[in-house]
Amino acid sequence: MPEQLKKKPLTKEEKLEARAERKKVSIVEYVETEMATFREKPFSVVDSTVLSQLTYLNMSNVVPGIGDKKPVTIAQLYRAERFTEYVEDTIFPKQNRQLLNALCASPRFRDIKINYYIDSVDEEKEKQFAAMTFFLPTGEIYVAYRGTDSTINGWKEDFNMFFLDVIPGQMSAARYLKWVAARTEGRLYVGGHSKGGNLAMYSASFVNKEIQDRIITVFNHDGPGLTKGAMAREDFSDITGKINITLPHSSLIGLIFCHGNYTVVESKRIGLMQHDLFSWEIKDGSFIYEEEVKPGGNRIVDSVYDLMEVLSEEDRQLFVDTTFEIIESAGALTFSEFPAMAIKSRDKIMHTMKNIDPQTADIMKNVLGEFITISARKAFTLPENEVTEKINDALNRIGETKDRLSEKIAQQTIKSIEAGEKLGVKITESVNRLGEKGSMLTDFIADTVMKARERISPDEELTDEDSDIREL
């Protein structure tokens, strides 16, 4: 075998590291391998993410709705004729089907009962709300809210958070929790993913003390927090001590209106795709945690906050309404339908865009302009060490040559900054000297003129028109 094709044997440390990596699992593999019942191992934050993901499935024809009907167990969801229906229009149909298969077979999850399923979309009120209640074999109850689904109406409701302290889905969530609590006994968990986590926080913050005393934990998995306006309301009750917030390393959505403490979970994906719960990594039955979120995510969220502060409440609403008016003009109800519908409705979309009134168009241009300005300001006010770090981080994975190149680029960047600063200092100093020594400049000009006059021939007579020269 040629030398270059021989596989280099792994060191002991590399073997141990590879073995440790293999132990990392997703929520699907966790469900497949966790054999302990809830009596043997208490309900955890990982279990909350599993049930939060299950809420995305369409189960209206199997799980009882609002009423006094008998609940079904998770094991009873295992119906081949319903599989396509369950995962239709979900964002991750393949993974959702795998999760369902694992849950129905799991000794930990299969006996959990589900009831009070509600899935409501109100286009007039711009509301998308879905929730269900899980009854654990231990007697504890988990009230779970679905996050934003693929409906355009659901996404618009999320955007409405930027100019409304309370959205319709939040009010529905509070009413749902009160309704469930009034008809059940036992201690409560409340939770959800994405907007579902926000609904969990809102509902638990706006119920009476009797219900709050029954709540064990409120789980918010990478969902927005509550606005300052919502927390300033008279009926708000601070339950910070019961809130458990989990964010991925590159969180963006979960940092919006985030005011409390949170833990950071390792994800196998990059960027915004880390919002996907299937990417969160688990080891030995618990999440793998990191120290902090990626700094870049904070700066993006800060830019969004800055932008929202620049615009008035009316302008925020106008911008959101206009954006979704263009999207909705294609006739699609979900984002999965939008690409095909947009092609068919191209002329209609263009007509809608042309019909935007000048005032709204100016606001949209101003919003984009403000965002660019904010982003630029943040980019060019970074400390020198961050400039170096950013450039190095971007290039150091490509190889040693690129590492040397990144260092040169970083040095040149810093030199340019320094040169600009020095030039500014020099100009300032020159202006200051000019102000302080203006009289010296006047004397110099006068002296120069006198010397010029002396060079004029004595026998050359000056006319009256030239007499003004003498005044110098």
Which of 381, 396, 422 marks a domain boundary? Answer: 381
DSSP letter assigned to residue 278? G
CA torsion through residues 89, 92, 97, 100, sign: negative
Say whether both 47 and 174 belong to one domain.
Answer: yes
Contacts of 327 (CB under 8 A, 6+ apart): 152, 338
Say whether both 38 and 163 belong to one domain.
Answer: yes
Confirm if 127 and 55 have CB atoms less than 8 A apart: no
Say whether both 338 and 396 belong to one domain.
Answer: no
Instruction: Using CB atoms within 10 Å of the CB of residue 267, give its burial: 0 to 12 exposed, 13 to 18 middle, 19+ buried.
Output: buried
**How many angstroms separate the first and last alpha carbons of the chain?**
97
Answer whether residue 73 is part of any domain.
yes
Say whether both 73 and 126 belong to one domain.
Answer: yes
**Cα–Cα dist 280/289, whole Å:** 10
Say whether both 368 and 247 belong to one domain.
Answer: no
For residue 333, the surrounding DSSP H or E stretch is none
Q: How many domains does the chain have?
A: 3
Answer whether residue 111 is part of any domain.
yes
Model-level pTM greater than 0.75?
Answer: no
Say whether both 306 and 356 belong to one domain.
Answer: yes
300 phi and psi, to 5 degrees?
A: -65, -45
Strand pairing report for 72-73 and 286-287: unpaired
Say whether both 197 and 308 belong to one domain.
Answer: no
Nearest to 364 by CA among 316, 423, 415: 316
Q: Kindly report the CATH number assigned to the domain that includes residue 203.
A: 3.40.50
CB atoms within 10 A of CB 365: 10
Residue with tokens 């300001």: 377
Amino acid 293: pLDDT: 77
Amino acid 23: pLDDT: 83
3-state percent helix, strand, coil for the chain, nearest multiple of 5: 55, 10, 35
Amino acid 254: pLDDT: 81
Q: Domain range spanning residue 399? A: 382-437
Say whether both 340 and 235 belong to one domain.
Answer: no
Number of Cα atoms under 13 Å in the Cβ half of residue 8: 5
Which of 262, 293, 324 marks a domain boundary? Answer: 293
Answer whether residue 7 is part of any domain.
no
Residue with tokens 């006094």: 68
Amino acid 471: pLDDT: 35
For the chain, which residues score pLDDT lower than 50?
Answer: 1-6, 335, 371, 374-375, 377-382, 384, 387, 391, 395, 397-403, 437-439, 441-442, 444-445, 449, 453, 455-472
Say whether both 352 and 386 belong to one domain.
Answer: no
Answer whether residue 258 is part of any domain.
yes
Answer whether residue 17 is part of any domain.
no
Answer whether residue 16 is part of any domain.
no
Say whether both 107 and 199 belong to one domain.
Answer: yes
Answer whether residue 8 is part of any domain.
no
Answer whether residue 451 is part of any domain.
no
Confirm if 158 and 195 have CB atoms less than 8 A apart: yes
Instruction: Using CB atoms within 10 Å of the CB of residue 12, give its burial: 0 to 12 exposed, 13 to 18 middle, 19+ buried.
Output: exposed
User: Per-residue DSSP letters for 53-108?
Assistant: HHTTS--TTTS--SSSPPPEEGGGG--GGGHHHHHTT-S-HHHHHHHHHHHHH-TT
Nearest to 289 by CA among 52, 14, 24: 24
Say whether both 211 and 327 belong to one domain.
Answer: no
Nearest to 258 by CA among 301, 215, 291, 299: 301
Which of 381, 401, 424 marks a domain boundary? Answer: 381
Say whether both 201 and 267 belong to one domain.
Answer: yes
Strand pairing report for 113-122 and 127-135: antiparallel
Using alpha carbons only, give the angle 377, 380, 384 rounded to the nearest 5 degrees.
Answer: 145
**Cα–Cα dist 211/218, whole Å:** 13
Amino acid 152: pLDDT: 57
